[in-house]
Structure 1
Amino acid sequence: MELRRFRGLFESGAMSLSEIAKETGLNRRTVRKYLSSEGPVAPPRRAAPGHGRRRMVDEVAPLIDAMLRSEILIKGAVVHERLVAEYGFTGTYQRVKLYMQEARPRIAGDLGISPGELAGLHRRFEVVPGAQAQVDWGDEGQILAHVGIPKIYSFHMTLSYSRDPFCCFTTSQDLATFFDCHRQAFAHFGGVPMSIVYDRTKTVVRRHVAPGEAVPLHPEAVGFAGHYDFDIDVLAAYRPTGKGRVERQVLIVRDHVLAGRSFSSIEELDSAFNAWMPLRRAKTHGTHGEVIGHRAIRDHMALRPLPTTPYVVTQRHLRYVGKDCLVA
């Protein structure tokens, strides 16, 4: 960005440093440096990578820098969307994301923002095979209302390493149904992951507590996890990205299995998911870059073995018994 044309305006007082910085998308200190009498008239150009070849993202780098200076926590997808819509950018989102990974800490340093203030950013994590699964519910509404079933729910368990999914459909989210779906998922995968991630559902957590306090687990959840030898990992409060793999899977199943179709029973819903499964496993996943089915083989082989007998979850309730033996 040439600053020569702004020097006269700055020296005459027609534009301030802040106004020039906003106009050029540069940091105020950078503008002061290059508009001072002893400084050069323009900041040095960004070095092009490898043998002088210029990347497509370098052409919009000043625009990206300006967006980051305006909002340091802006998402890469938003930046790419605006570049495409407003500036005709034809590069990929991945190029923008990679550039932002380098530019964000640099610009944060220019703005005097400490690394701790960037903690709101989410860094994707990966796990080893068999280490983790994530569980969530989907509310599928009244898709079977025409056959007298008022509400349908989808239960989802996704293996975190491979993104290999399991789904089944139910009419209830109660305790017994919840863990019966777990047994079906374990049978589907052929084993048990080392840990399972949950949100603060009442079938896992006895009551909600303040952030930082120990979460009291439901005794049946503790007994079930002990029998199948996995750890319960309850997400901390205000952690919307903690189980994104399974939350994304809820939407994928809704779009690819349910959308545009009619069903007359829960069995048909389950059959539709099972028929779609080979198509999903044949896909190359956009994040880990491997065919889901190939990666799932390693995931399944690392799972813990199923116990010889199932654990039957039961609902237990305490009731007051009066002196006259009347049970409340």
Structure 2
Amino acid sequence: MDLYRKVRLACSEGMSQREAARQFGVSRDSVRKMLAFSVPPGYRRTAPVKRPKLDGFTEIIDGWLEGDREVHRKQRHTAKRVFERLRDEHGFTGGYTIIKDYMRERERRGREMFVPLAHPPGHAQADFGEAVVVIGGVEQKAHFFVMDLPHSDACFVRAYPAATAEAWVDGHVHAFAFFGRVPVSVLYDNDRCLVAKILADGTRQRATLFSGFLSHYLFRDRYGRPGKGNDKGNAEGLVGYSRRNFMVPVPRFVSWASFNAYLEEQCRKRQADVLRGQSETIGERLVRDLVVMSDLPPAPFDACDQATGRVSSQALVRYKTNDYSVPVAYGHRDVWIRGYVDEVVIGCGGELIARHPRCYDREDMVFDPVHYLPLIERKINALDQAAPLAEWNLPPEFATLRRLMEARMIKAGRREYVQVLRLLETFDIDDLHAAVKKALQLGAVGFDAVKHLALCHVEKRPPKLDLDVYPYLPRANVGTTSAASYMSLLSGDAA
């Protein structure tokens, strides 16, 4: 640039172009260009690049790349593969570089352009993302729901073990409760949990659970183009922001509930931020969103998947590839099932008969040992091989009680021990555990004694055990009071 200025200054003072070229060591063409432009114009191509060796092959390349649109992105043509095929199959004699440059330029021309959008208050976008977390000491993948209000940039994030239909709905329910209002509309991808089918005219046929949810909250659902993930850029951006800011380093929590409480707190803290290009905080702009949004309904939507099933001969009901136990009294009967994000509830008629933590593994069995105790009491020889009892971690006092019962009554003792376990149908494990410990202290090794002690523990009254009914209880020998014994204390004979 300094040379440019000196040449122009010298010529303006009367130096000829020939002399300037000789004086400054540049060509006369360069001197003419310096006099024509006040600043260097840069290189300007006036004609397209000529690639004589490639021109006859561009249609072949374009055909291959167009065909790649129907192929998985990891199996599409690279520049190297295109070069090799042209060389081997079509006798191409050019180099690799012109292939690479052509494909790069073609990709640049085909990139999508976007229109800047304005976001009126009251509307939302929703999506799911993934991150690695440690819950209860187990490393696993978290699927986290995000809802963004583009006008204010207010957000809500909640994590789940899987991105199921009930997780979608549960995320909305908690998001609406977090904001205290219902958005005018929410923009989505065409996720199968929400859209069962896209009809020929573009109309969405909504999934059953999601359709009921929309009817409950009465907001408008909008959808992006099929196969496009960039029609809801705010939600996509929130997924990345949440992962980078809320989940680095890898979150470690004892439960999903504590992890979600942390995420909710982070969303509240973010409302105090002032984002680039804004003069107000997120919370101040959120007020305008909330004014436009509608009131919550009187009660939240029950976010659960509903199904029916039949109890098998092993007192199991299948739901989402996993089997859950029910009391054996309901064997071979039809039942209804409700799958929540954290539990599975099973009922028969108008009665709720079983409740289990939700299992997200495949082909697993989830037992409640209490469900099988009436059957084991009748088939007592199955006690030691019963799968539902195999991983039942009872306090050690229960094993001691069983050993004493079997020592006293052998097979009948095993059956009476199962009767003690069946008290869990009525009492909590803590109350029964206290009763068993008290029975062992008293030596009252029997079902009736344990039941009596459990009732006394719950009612907080002293036990009254009849020794005639329980002859195996230890008897205490209490001597008769003697006046002479008391008089000896007054004399010096007392030791």
Q: Does TM, scored on the shorter chain, surpass 0.5?
A: yes
Question: For the Cα contact (< 8 Å) 2:195–2:207, is it kept in 1?
Answer: yes
Partner Cα distance (1:27, 1:232) in 2: 51
Residue 187 to residue 326, structure 1, CA distance change in 2 (3 Å): closer
Q: Give the AA of the match of 1:140.
A: A
Question: For the Cα contact (< 8 Å) 1:158–1:245, is it kept in 2?
Answer: yes
Partner of residue 5, structure 1: 29
Q: Give the AA of the match of 1:122.
A: F
Displacement after TM superposition at 1:219 (Å)? 2.7
Question: For the Cα contact (< 8 Å) 2:127–2:145, is it kept in 1?
Answer: yes
1:258-273 maps to which residues of 2 (within 5 A)? 258-264=247-253, 265-273=255-263
Partner of residue 306, structure 1: 296
Structure 1: gaps spanning 5 or more residues = 9-22, 30-69, 75-116, 320-324
Does residue 1:257 correspond to 2:276, yes or no?
no
1:267-306 maps to which residues of 2 (within 5 A)? 267-286=257-276, 288=278, 290-306=280-296
Deviations 1:67-91 (A, max 9, x none): xxx96996xxxxxxxxxxxxxxxxx
Residue 262 to residue 166, structure 1, CA distance change in 2 (3 Å): closer
Deviations 1:163-217 (A, max 9, x none): 100011111222222211111100101111111111111111103567x632222
> Higher strand share goes to which structure?
2
Question: For the Cα contact (< 8 Å) 1:152–1:171, is it kept in 2?
Answer: yes
Does residue 1:157 correspond to 2:111, yes or no?
no
The TM-score with structure 2 as length reference comes to: 0.40
Q: Give the AA of the match of 2:44.
A: G
Aligned residues: 223
The TM-score with structure 1 as length reference comes to: 0.58
Does residue 1:133 correspond to 2:152, yes or no?
no
Of the two, which has the highest radius of gyration?
A: 2
Partner Cα distance (2:165, 2:173) in 1: 13
Bigger relative contact order (CA 8 A; separation at least 6): 1
Q: CA RMSD in A?
A: 3.7
Partner Cα distance (1:326, 1:266) in 2: 34
Moved more, 157-166 or 283-292: 283-292
SS at match of 2:298: coil
Partner of residue 120, structure 1: 112
Question: For the Cα contact (< 8 Å) 1:73–1:120, is it kept in 2?
Answer: no
Partner Cα distance (2:199, 2:130) in 1: 25
1:68-107 maps to which residues of 2 (within 5 A)? none
Q: Give the AA of the match of 1:127.
A: H
Partner of residue 42, structure 1: none
SS at match of 1:295: helix
SS at match of 1:305: coil
Displacement after TM superposition at 1:236 (Å)? 1.1
Residue 28 to residue 204, structure 1, CA distance change in 2 (3 Å): same
Q: Give the AA of the match of 1:5.
A: D
SS at match of 1:306: coil
Displacement after TM superposition at 1:25 (Å)? 2.9
Partner Cα distance (1:24, 1:269) in 2: 57
Deviations 1:266-293 (A, max 9, x none): 2332232233234422222225554211
